[in-house]
Structure formats: structure tokens, C-alpha cells
Structure 1
Amino acid sequence: MKISSSIIALLAAALSSADAFVPAAPRAVPVVVVAKSSSALLVARDLDGIAAATAPSSSSSSSSSSSSVDRTMEGVDDDLPYQAFDPTAGDSPAVERNNAGGVWVKQRARPRRNRKSSGIRAMVRENIVTPSNFIYPLFIHDEDVDVPIPSMPGCYRLSHESMMREVGESLELGVRAFVLFPKVNDDLKTNMGCEAYNPDGIVHRSIRAIKAAYPDAVVCTDVALDPYSDMGHDGVVEDGVILNDVTINQLCKQAVSQARAGADIVAPSDMQDGRVMAIRDALDSEGYTNVSILSYTAKYASAYYGPFRDALDSHPGFGDKRTYQQDPANGREALIEAALDAAEGADMLMVKPGMPYLDVIRRLRDASDLPIAAYHVSGEYAMLKAAVERGWLNEKEVVLETLTCFKRAGADIILTYYAKQAAQWIKEDGLY
């Protein structure tokens, strides 16, 4: 690159001058004072983004500044103005020096003191996830082999033998509750979903087997018709409309039959109006007053359910579920549903999906004293798995953080396909 003779002459003149070129002092914006109690933090920044409160204006002040630079600055080239600046100098220093000569900001309240060691962090931790918080969803089918679910890596439609083994191993890790979702053979599906209350159906047989082998296991059942419907909807269909009250009649039969098989909790996920009250009355009238209802209170018409429907082969045969599941745009509506469910006799309230609806979990937590459940749904699980498989996320760290977020938002119970794996991680870390 050629440099013109005029530029060279100007540079030579500047270097030979008695007053050598000195870079202009950084331009400082007014100092901002943030006061909290009796302590204050002084902050100043120059307009170019370089921290500055004052700048040396002569060789003597520069020398004074250099002599007071903290030992942590040793070896730094003081000829560079933005490094030679001393925050402890001047009439209004940004920071001061303590009696030991170290740099000191007058800040009595220092939240980092409660983060300085793993022991202290654990001691002051506000929310702790334990395996007893989990409900573990299990996909089951009437086959002798396990079938992997491509859109949910690590999840399977389990044979009876594998289901029993999964329950036993999970109990050893502290996971005590399980919810069963059946893949029903197509020839058993009808519009009325009568297989839902077949006492010899796959769900009922599984309940009896689990309770016989593991009496302390908490068995939760899904109350809805979509796995049993040839239409893939949660209710009885007529002329393209899901019939609310006719559906509830079927759900009551389903819930009572599950209670007879030994279910501890029934969980209506259908989102029909009035179903909690009807199911509560049906259970009570048959003597099952101790069977709990975990209501899917705020179940949204979400795009996050795709992998779950793959697992059960229960995609809607027509349309979508927006006429009965909630609009994802609505938050206040969840409070209406929560108030109704509580009045109708629900023992626990659920928000589904979980992560995209943490605000709804918090709203329900603030509005109700009933236990709140969050469903970490199949789409959320699949997204994490996809990122982990590509090396973009650390699986253990991101899963445990996600589950902790549910607790922080206000959830007492977490339904997650990671229940068993998370329990293993928690045990390995000595957190349970």
C-alpha cells in the first residue's frame, strides 16, 4: 500500500514536536448513582463503550495513576490509555481501596456470597426437584415386543413384561407414580369408545398387575376416548361435532372401571365441560371416594402433542381439537377452568404443555391452593432429544434445569418422559 508524501510529512512533524501526540481523554457520560440502603454503586461509561470516570491530563497525573494501579494490572501496557485508566483515582472514584490495599466497591449487599460454593448454593436453593415429584408416563400395548417410537427417541410402546420391569426399576430410584397410555388395536376402536371401560382391556389388566406386584406404586389413568376412538377425538362424534354430555357419560363409565381395577388417580384429559363433577359423583356413588381426580385443567390445543399421537396412533381423523381444548393465546381462561374444576371436586390441577405455559402454571399457583401438575409433553421431550443428539445441548444439565423451572413456576407434580433418567441423575448427584 502506498502512503502519500504529505501524510508522511505530517507524521514526522508530529513525532518531532516537543508536545508529542497524546490521545484525547475518553468522553465520559454523567456518572449514574444507584443507591440501595446505605451503599451505592458508581458507574461511568464513555460514549465509545469504554469504562471511564476520569482521565490523566498530564505526565504527573499519569505517573500517579500508574503507581496506584492494582497488582492485578501488572504487566499491562500502560501506554494504552484505556488500560492505564485507574478507577480508584480522582475526586469521585468509581471504586475505592480497602484497608488491605485491595480494590473495593462500597457494596454491603453482595448476592454472590450465597453462590460462592456448592454447599451454600444447595443450602439456600429455593426449589428442589426430587423423584417423588414425578409421574412417569408409560406407553403400553398388547404385543410381546417393545416398539420404539421414532419421534420420541428412548421411548417405547412397552410389552407387559417391559412395563413391569420399568415400574420396578423406577420405584427403586424413587419414582412412585405412573400414568398409563394404551396403544389400542384398530379393530377395538369405535365412535363410542366402549373399549375404554372394558374390564379386561389393556389398561385394566396393567393396573391390576402393577398394584399386585407393587402395592405402594401410585397408578394414574388417562380418562379420555381418543385412544379408543376411530375418529381420534377425545369424545363421541356426531356430524363432525364432539358431543359434550354424551362423552361425559362414557367418561364416567371409564373412570369407574379404572377405579375398580385399582387406579389411585384418574386424570380426565378430554376437556369436556362439567366432566370433573360428573366423574366425582360417579366415583363417590360407587364407593370410590378415596380415588383422586387429577384434572387436565388447562390443556391447550397445542402443536407440541405430535409425537404423543404417533405413540398411540391417535391423530384426529378430521379437523383439530380447538373446539374443546384451550386457545394457546388465552391465559385468563385457565383461571376460569381452575375455579370450575376445584368447585367440581378436582384434587389436583394440571397445565399441559409445560414449558411454553410456565406463566399459566404461575397463575394457577397464585390462584389455587390445590397441587399443580405440569406436563412436560412429547414435543418438548423430542426437541431436547434432537438438540442433544446433535451435540448442541448437554442432556443432563438441560433436563434438570427444565424440571427445576416447573418447580420454580409453582408446579408440585411433573409428568415427564425423563422421570426415570432424571431420578438416576438426581441420585448420582446426591440430591436425593
Structure 2
Amino acid sequence: MKKKWVVLMLFTLTLSTGMTSIAAADQPANQTVLADQSSTGNHTENTDKSIAQTNEEKLAAGEPTSAKAAAGSSTKAAGSSTTVKTTASAGSTWTVTDSQIKDAADRVKSFIEKNDRLPNYVTIGSKQVSMSQYLKLVNQETLNLYGSSGSLTVGSVSGPTNPTESVKSGNIQKSEYLKLAKNILNFMNSNGRAPNYASSSLGTIRYESLVYAFSRVVAFHDDNSRLPNYVSVKSWTSQTGGSTTTDPSLQKYLVATANAQSTSSTIKNLAASITSGKTTTYAKAQAIFNWVRDHVSYSFYYNTQKGALGAYSSRSANCCDMAHLVVALARAAGIPARYQHGTCTFSSGTYGHVWAQLYVSGKWYYADAVSTRNSFGTINNWNLNTYTLHGTYASLPF
């Protein structure tokens, strides 16, 4: 079979240390059987309709090409290719064959079925690609395999901000998932990030399920030389629990320490109270951050003096002890949390500073609770463009 080429421009990736790459060894022996001209799986929920057209998502419904919205050729035309560009001003190029993208889809699919979570990134050719960037590539590959062609920009693509779902189990026909692939690309090109969810006749489908579903679509083509007639959909959270903590590299960010006493009954009960009624990891993390920001006042002193329990009991803390409380509450709620230390420029001058970060759906979010000007994931009281980072820690050493 002729090789078909996808050309990518080199883009810059910022990867956290300890992230897991997918290798052939990650593939379990027994995988989901794709049969009866369909693509089925353990976790997925995909749909056709349009991506959710809400103010939050700001999506414009993309119209599929009428000739390709129904039955038609499911084999990529000979000689067609996708030109993948970068948003950077300059860079070298590298090429990836269709077979390499299909191989990546096979490995992503296998990894999810083995680990009940998304990998942090996937290696395609010689490059490490984030899951958000991979979602763009695998959606374009799906369209290309159907006979479409077009250019694609892959630069810095943010992850979703708050993945949610409300979907019933069922099948999405080919015309639906082709339209969905196009709409996802339109959204990501317009917004520079992956969607939190997509809407469909079966309900709303969260980001992780979109990655899984289109991985199975492309993997099916790799095995059968054609696209599946449909892809099955199931709730992601019902199958995986929506966990973000199964990655062994994150375990050090979940354990209690001398000053982040996450196993203390006081901290555990407080965390349970704060997160009561919250159904997503993002909502729980945001609630914890908001509680510390709104209930503990800032007090100036050097280094750790109180720890999480002392900050809670006194309702007053410096940046170190406020970070201890955020970290302890997050870990008590099962959310990985860490510290960062840097020299930061505030309106009043430049100082050493400590803040927390919480890990949600494959992304670290800033959680600096010392100022009411800050929100979860956003810092406004010091300049993110000029600070100097001195260290990132599972346990703050001072």
C-alpha cells in the first residue's frame, strides 16, 4: 500500500517531569474486539451532532460536506496529505506517515483500556505530542481517511478547562462522527484549546471520550483498511471513575507530609465538606482554592511556621502556610497537589513567594490563594511574565 504523508512543523512542547510516554509494552494482551463493521470499546462516548453550542464553548456548528455526510468512499485518496503548520515563526519540519498516526492511535487506545486514563502524551515518529495536539491530529486523520484533505495548524494547544458529560450508551453512525471530527477541529482552531465536551443525539461527550473514540476509529481503519460504520459510546466516568490519579508519577503529590497533613481527620472532614455536591475534579479543586482564599487572611512572616492545620485553626497564614493548606485539602480530596517557589514581582516590589498547583485532567493549575484578585488557574497579583522559578516540590523544604 502506498505511504501517505502528513507533514508537521516542529512546535515547542512544555512537559512536566515524570510524564508517561506510551510504548508497545503498554498494550494489554486482550483488547476490545472491533466487529460487525463497527468500532466498540469499554469507555467511549462519541457523537455526531455538533459540538455543544453554548456561550462557554463558543462553538459554531460546522456543516459537513454533503457528499461525505452519507455513504461514500472510506479510503483516503491516493496522494492526499495533510500539511500541518506551526504557530511559531520558524522551525524545522518533520514528517509522519499515516501508518505512524495509526500506530499512535493503536497505542493510545490500548493505554486507555489498560490504565483507565489518558496518557500524558504520545510519541509520533520521534516527537512527543500532547493529548490536545493528538486530538487535532487524529481528527484530521479521520477526515483524511474518508477522502478529505486540508491544512492543519498545530501549535500550543491548551487542554480542556472543565470536562463534563451527560451521555447514554449507544452508537454513533459514520456520518455523525465525521461531522463531529470537523466540528472539533473548527473549535480548536478558533479557541486554541480542546473542548470540554461535545453535544450529540446521545448527550454531551467529554474530552477524554473524544480522544478515546477517535483513537478507536483510526485504529479500526488500521486493522480493516476502512472506517467503521459506527463507533460505540459509553460514559467515561462510569467506566473509569474520572480518575486523574492513577499515574504513578503523580503519587508523590498525593501523600501527607509534616506540614500538609492530608490524612488528619480535621483536614479530611474539611475537604469533604468543601467538595460536597461537586461532581468533577475541576469543581472540587476550584472549591478548595476558593475556600482557602476566602477564609484565610494573609499574614507576613518568613517560611513555614504553622503548616496546614495551623493555618486552618488560626485563619491566618503567609504564602507558605496558605499553600500547605491548599495542598493538604487537595490531597485529602484525591487531587494531586504540589508547591512552586519563585521570585515574583508584585505591585509593591519583588519578593520570594510560594504558591500551590493542583493537577486536574492532565494539567497543572495555579492555586495562589494569598489574594482575592486571584482565581483558580489565574494569577493577577504578581506578574507571570517576569517571575523566576526556583523549584517545584512535593514537600516544601522550608
Using the size of structure 2 for normalisation, the TM-score is: 0.22
Bigger helix share: 1
Bigger strand share: 2
Q: Which has the larger radius of gyration?
A: 1
